[in-house]
Amino acid sequence: MKQIPYGRQNITDEDIQSVVKVLKSDLLTQGPKIAEFEKAFTEYIGVKYAVAVSNGTAALHLCALALGVKEGDKVITTPITFSATANCVRYAGGDVVFADIDPNTYLLDINEVEKLLAASPKGTYKGIIPVDFAGRAVDLEAFRKLADKYGCWIIEDTCHAPGGYFTDSKGIKHKCGSGDFAELAIFSFHPVKHIAIGEGGMITTNNEELYHKLRMLRTHGIQQRTELIKNNNSDPWYYELQELGFNYRLTDVLAALGISQLKRAKEGLKRRIEIAEKYNNIFKNKPYIKRHSGIISGHAYHLYVIESEKRKELYEYLRTKNIYAQVHYIPLHLMPYYSQYGWKLGDFPNAENYYKHCLSIPMFPTLTDVQQNYVINTINDFFTV
């Protein structure tokens, strides 16, 4: 069997032609494809505004800046996430405060967050960054109530969950990134994500003021919209540097690829759910699988995670069989950069216990039935030998 990674992109002839068309056009960057991609994305997610940027990390950084994170501001997030989720707070000078995960969902535990908020004077914490980890949607209705009570904003890190949703207390479905409860949400278009363009990211919001600020910050802090110019100058070429921004723009080449990929997003999500259902049916009664992702309504299945007491041995065995499973993630509070601030082993037992056992097995839309059966049989063989 050829190598099977835990995730991979699917580039079609249509994708390639969309890129070639832009390469033959007059504009490679800052052209019409950016706005076209943003519009298509707002329609897919069900949100008013979208701002395309160079990658998911840039998206997080701009969100922190747009919400005014500054030196000394405390922001709560999960230790089970990619480092960029927390790093964006540090980029802006703020302080990261971790809270443990719910061991059943792998998501930021709202009860642990509330303990932190309740233990300090109101205003101590400025924001919360929950993560739709592995594709499972956070209950943002509950987080919104908590955030409002303590005066916090919310950035939803939904890199794993485009197309995912949660159902609120009234039975209404809310898509990840829809802006119904969070001020801002971010997406990534890294090759292993649902929409793969190499690098790229998107910020979504229903807040018009934040939308215009984000557009300015992604282009060096330069403002060109006449109605937002501060100096009284109507010259047609005039622009202003209003804030210290960054060059976080996406190119037309990548936006064109994103538009093409987005056309297959629903189809890809459907296939991910099919793969997850098959894994679930096989592993749900296996005593050697401690826990697995299961079938959850609204789950977008960026990852399918299993837990095993023999995680390391299984990981190594799978690699000998050309199956490249992966571990998501090493708890951030144990990384040297964050441990220097006093975080240590034992601070978050649920996150640490999850890390000891977790393994992401192959999950991507082009995974064939033959390949999935091979993965399943290899895992079963490991435990039955």
Asked if the model's pLDDT at residue 102 lies above 80, the reply is yes
Average pLDDT over residues 145-155: 98
Confidence of residue 285 (pLDDT cuts 50, 70, 90): confident
Q: What Rg, from alpha-carbon coordinates, does the chain have?
A: 21
233: helix, strand or coil: coil
Give residue 225's pLDDT.
Answer: 87
Residue-wise pLDDT for 159-195, tens only, equals 999 999 999 999 999 999 999 999 999 999 999 999 9
Average pLDDT over residues 362-366: 98
Taking the domains of the chain in order of start, what are their residue ranges?
Answer: 4-99+107-262, 265-384
Separation of alpha carbons 251 and 212, rounded Å: 19
Asked if the model's pLDDT at residue 292 lies above 80, the reply is no
Residues 174, 165: contact at Cβ < 8 Å? yes
Q: Kindly state the percentage of the chain with pLDDT values over 70.
A: 100
Give residue 132's pLDDT.
Answer: 98
Give residue 291's pLDDT.
Answer: 77
Confidence of residue 269 (pLDDT cuts 50, 70, 90): very high
Confidence of residue 127 (pLDDT cuts 50, 70, 90): very high
Confidence of residue 133 (pLDDT cuts 50, 70, 90): very high
pTM of the model as a whole: 0.97
Residues 117, 109: contact at Cβ < 8 Å? no
Residues 178, 48: contact at Cβ < 8 Å? no
Separation of alpha carbons 141 and 194, rounded Å: 25
Return the CATH number of 4-99+107-262, one of 3.40.640.10, 3.40.47.10, 3.30.70.100, 3.40.50.920: 3.40.640.10
**Coarse DSSP helix, strand, coil percentages of the chain, rounded to the nearest 5 percent:** 40, 15, 45
Average pLDDT over residues 346-358: 98
Give residue 294's pLDDT.
Answer: 75
Please name which of 60, 358, 351, 134 lies closest in space to residue 343, comparing C-alpha atoms: 351
Residue-wise pLDDT for 298-309, tens only, equals 999 999 999 999
Give residue 171's pLDDT.
Answer: 97
Tokens of 118: 């309740």
In whole angstroms, how far apart are CA 75 and each of 85, 87, 252, 256, 330? 11, 11, 34, 35, 20
Give residue 289's pLDDT.
Answer: 85
Give residue 218's pLDDT.
Answer: 98
CATH number for the region 265-384 comes to 3.90.1150.10
Residue-wise pLDDT for 6-45, tens only, equals 999 999 999 999 999 999 999 998 899 999 999 999 999 9
Give residue 295's pLDDT.
Answer: 83
Residues 218, 65: contact at Cβ < 8 Å? no
Give residue 288's pLDDT.
Answer: 84
Confidence of residue 275 (pLDDT cuts 50, 70, 90): very high
Residue-wise pLDDT for 209-261, tens only, equals 999 999 999 999 999 888 889 998 889 899 999 999 999 999 999 999 999 99
- How much is the mean pLDDT over the chain? 96
Would you say the C-alpha torsion 42, 272, 13, 199 has a positive or negative sign?
positive
